């Protein structure tokens, strides 16, 4: 018997340590090559570790919740198969051959088997070769159409989304409220879309009527619920899970304050800094104290962007795809970076004590995402090559993956420029810290109606504030101003993207 030990591998670029989150096997379990052994949390994401060996688990060498260095042995697997194996000299019993279409029962009357399929017929025990219904013998029932609000598409949201507003439909950049039903007479075009889902009315959430009723009774916005249904629909179980999480948060709030009579140290909660939080803290400190930040801001009339987004939502080409002003901003950033290349660069200190600026002729567009595990910045590779529709699909996929906690380390490496949507919480603007390895980041504020002077008249317009932070070693004030002005120009007139 050979005992194999599996050491913690480097699952990402430069990984030095990881925490064992949960074991998927226990001593005595039989495992095959590539079976999942455990989940580990790195500085960037949760990763499943597959087994490089086949055999029986002998011992789990590291308990859950422990952080260990790369190269540490975590599990031992013997090549001995567990259980009571069949001796090599004993021939295994042959499994009976199953007929392709099954057997007819022995008590079937002769009249029912006039075609030669009776008990005495050789066809009764084998496949009915050459027989079967005629091509036109089976007719499909006409497909029933459902109410317009019973099948809609849900794309889980992340940080880079716009806040909801009750003022107007246009004020809601990401999605309309789930309870706002379409007219009763509308039916769905149930043609398949990307991913094989059934399309519904644009920017609604897929859910059955009983689920919608439960959500309304509980005051839950279906757009906030992560869908786990086979077609991306919100299920009853999803609502139960969401409500339980919400209740737990409320319970924590009710019992948050410690009693005044307790000792001071018993009213202080100590939270270990590890995983994503540890990596984020280090990255932010390194960036803030190595790259001299300069920030500028610009107010933008995004009314035409809101109109453009509304037209895209109604377009058949974007049917079933979540569309928001973030899509237009992402395109604007890509367009403006091509006109001001130095914002898409990296400052590199060389070994000789000199420095270089590496301007990148590709755009890996980072999107800051608030996840249950903390802040992550996955990026869309080669975003400059994507059409508007392809970019919308990439944003949807990024959102779904991040909310599910499935973002992989490779998806967060190699970013060149980042967008953070602080408007998701109704914030107008801010001074974001640059993602390490980049020289620029754009903050997207909330879009809301404000009084705006247009042609000498004060009228309500959809206004947002863009904030940008830049590495002053690479980006001068003039360049940062021109870049932000170009981004603002697209939000004010999206038709410029056609140039």
For each of the chain's 499 residues, which pLDDT tens digit applies? 788 889 988 876 567 788 888 899 999 999 998 899 998 887 667 788 899 989 999 989 999 888 888 889 999 998 876 554 444 444 445 555 444 444 444 444 444 444 444 444 444 444 444 344 444 444 455 555 544 444 444 444 443 444 444 444 443 444 444 444 444 444 444 444 443 443 343 346 788 888 888 888 888 888 778 777 777 788 888 888 788 777 766 666 666 777 777 787 777 777 777 776 777 777 778 777 778 899 999 999 999 999 999 999 999 999 888 899 999 999 999 999 999 999 999 999 888 888 899 999 999 999 988 777 778 899 999 999 999 999 999 999 998 888 777 888 888 889 999 999 888 778 898 899 999 899 999 999 999 999 999 889 999 999 999 999 999 999 999 999 999 999 999 999 999 987 6
Measured CA to CA, the distance from residue 75 to residue 223 in angstroms comes to 41
Beta-carbon contacts of 370 under 8 Å, excluding residues fewer than 6 positions away, are 158, 159, 424
Helix then strand count (H, E) for the chain reads 7, 19
Beta-carbon contacts of 38 under 8 Å, excluding residues fewer than 6 positions away, are 20, 21, 22, 23, 24, 25, 48, 49, 74, 75
Q: Judge whether 160 and 392 are in contact, CB under 8 Å.
A: no
With left for phi above 0 and alpha for psi between -120 and 50, is residue 490 left, alpha or beta? alpha
Two structure tokens written together for 391: 């970019």
What is the predicted pLDDT for the residue at 328? 96
What is the predicted pLDDT for the residue at 158? 40
Dihedral Cα 409, 55, 84, 22, nearest 10 deg: -30
Q: Judge whether 45 and 14 are in contact, CB under 8 Å.
A: no
C-beta neighbour count of 178 within 10 angstroms: 22
Q: How many CA atoms lie within 13 A of 237 on its CB side?
A: 5
What is the predicted pLDDT for the residue at 12? 66
Helix (H) / strand (E) element for 48: namely: strand 46-50
Could you please report the per-residue DSSP string of 220-257? --GGGSPP-STTSPBPHHHHHHHHHHHHHHHHHHHT-S
Across 303-368, where does the E strand assignment appear? 345-349, 355-359, 365-367
Q: How far is CA 321 from its chain centroid?
A: 14
Measured CA to CA, the distance from residue 281 to residue 274 in angstroms comes to 10
Pairing of strands 46-50, 36-41: antiparallel
- Residue 252 φ then ψ, to 5°: -65, -40
Could you please report the per-residue DSSP string of 278-311? HHHHHHHHHHHHHS-EEEEEEEEE-HHHHHHHHH
What is the predicted pLDDT for the residue at 182? 44
DSSP label of 80: S
Stated pTM of the model: 0.55
- CA 153 vs CA 197, 213, 323: distances in Å: 9, 17, 12
Helix (H) / strand (E) element for 4: namely: strand 3-7
- CA 154 vs CA 86, 331, 363, 402: distances in Å: 51, 23, 28, 14
Beta-carbon contacts of 489 under 8 Å, excluding residues fewer than 6 positions away, are 332, 496
443 burial (CB, 10 Å; 0-12 / 13-18 / 19+) is buried
- Residue 482 φ then ψ, to 5°: -65, -40
Of 369, 393, 387, 396, nearest in space to 331 by CA = 387
Q: How far is CA 158 from its chain centroid?
A: 8
Reduced to 3 states (helix: H, G, I; strand: E, B; else coil), residue 463 is strand
Across 61-214, where does the E strand assignment appear? 67-69, 73-78
Q: Judge whether 39 and 21 are in contact, CB under 8 Å.
A: yes
Measured CA to CA, the distance from residue 17 to residue 47 in angstroms comes to 13
Two structure tokens written together for 271: 């939270």
Q: Which residues are catalytic?
A: 472
Reduced to 3 states (helix: H, G, I; strand: E, B; else coil), residue 312 is helix
Two structure tokens written together for 206: 């897929």
Measured CA to CA, the distance from residue 243 to residue 211 in angstroms comes to 13
What is the predicted pLDDT for the residue at 484? 96
């Amino acid at each position: 018997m050979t005992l194999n030990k599996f050491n913690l591998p480097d699952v990402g670029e430069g990984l030095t340590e990881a925490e064992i989150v949960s074991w998927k096997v226990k001593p005595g379990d039989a495992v095959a090559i590539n079976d999942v052994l455990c989940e580990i949390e790195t500085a960037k994401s949760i990763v499943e570790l597959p087994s490089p060996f086949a055999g029986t688990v002998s011992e789990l060498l590291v308990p859950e919740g422990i952080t260990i260095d790369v190269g540490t042995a975590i599990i031992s697997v013997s090549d001995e198969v567990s259980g009571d194996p069949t001796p090599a000299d004993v021939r295994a019993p042959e499994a009976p051959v199953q007929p392709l279409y099954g057997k007819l029962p022995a008590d079937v009357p002769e009249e029912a088997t006039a075609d030669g399929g009776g008990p005495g017929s050789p066809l009764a025990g084998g496949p009915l070769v050459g027989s079967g219904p005629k091509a036109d013998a089976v007719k499909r029932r006409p497909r029933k159409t459902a109410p317009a609000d019973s099948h809609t598409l849900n794309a889980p949201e992340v940080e880079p989304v716009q806040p909801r507003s009750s003022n107007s439909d246009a004020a809601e950049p990401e999605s309309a409220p789930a309870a706002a039903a379409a007219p009763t007479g509308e039916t769905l075009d149930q043609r398949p879309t990307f991913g094989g889902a059934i399309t519904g009315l644009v920017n609604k959430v897929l859910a059955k009527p009983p689920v919608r009723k439960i959500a309304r009774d509980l005051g839950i916005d279906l757009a906030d619920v992560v869908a786990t249904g086979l077609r991306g629909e919100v299920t009853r179980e999803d609502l139960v899970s969401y409500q339980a999480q919400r209740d737990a948060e409320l319970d924590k709030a009710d019992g948050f304050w410690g009693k005044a009579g307790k000792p001071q140290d018993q009213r202080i909660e100590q939270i270990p800094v590890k995983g994503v939080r540890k990596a984020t803290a280090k990255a932010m400190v390194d960036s803030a104290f190595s790259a001299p930040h300069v920030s500028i801001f610009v107010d933008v009339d995004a009314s035409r962007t809101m109109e453009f987004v509304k037209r895209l939502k109604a377009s058949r080409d974007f049917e079933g795809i979540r569309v928001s002003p973030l899509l237009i901003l992402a395109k604007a950033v890509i367009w403006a970076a091509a006109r001001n290349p130095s914002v898409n660069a990296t400052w590199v200190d060389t070994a000789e004590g000199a420095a270089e600026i590496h301007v990148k002729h590709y755009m890996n567009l980072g999107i800051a995402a608030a996840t249950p595990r903390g802040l992550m910045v996955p990026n869309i590779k080669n975003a400059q090559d994507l059409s508007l529709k392809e970019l919308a699909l990439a944003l949807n996929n990024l959102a779904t993956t991040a909310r599910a906690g499935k973002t992989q380390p490779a998806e967060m490496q190699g970013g060149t420029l980042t967008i953070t949507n602080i408007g998701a919480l109704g914030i107008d603007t801010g001074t974001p810290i640059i993602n390490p390895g980049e020289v620029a980041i754009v903050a997207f504020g909330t879009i809301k109606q404000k009084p705006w002077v247009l042609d000498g008249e004060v009228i309500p317009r959809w206004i947002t504030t863009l904030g940008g932070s830049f590495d002053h070693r690479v980006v001068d004030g003039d360049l940062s101003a021109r870049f932000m002005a170009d981004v603002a120009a697209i939000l004010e007139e999206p038709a410029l993207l056609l140039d």
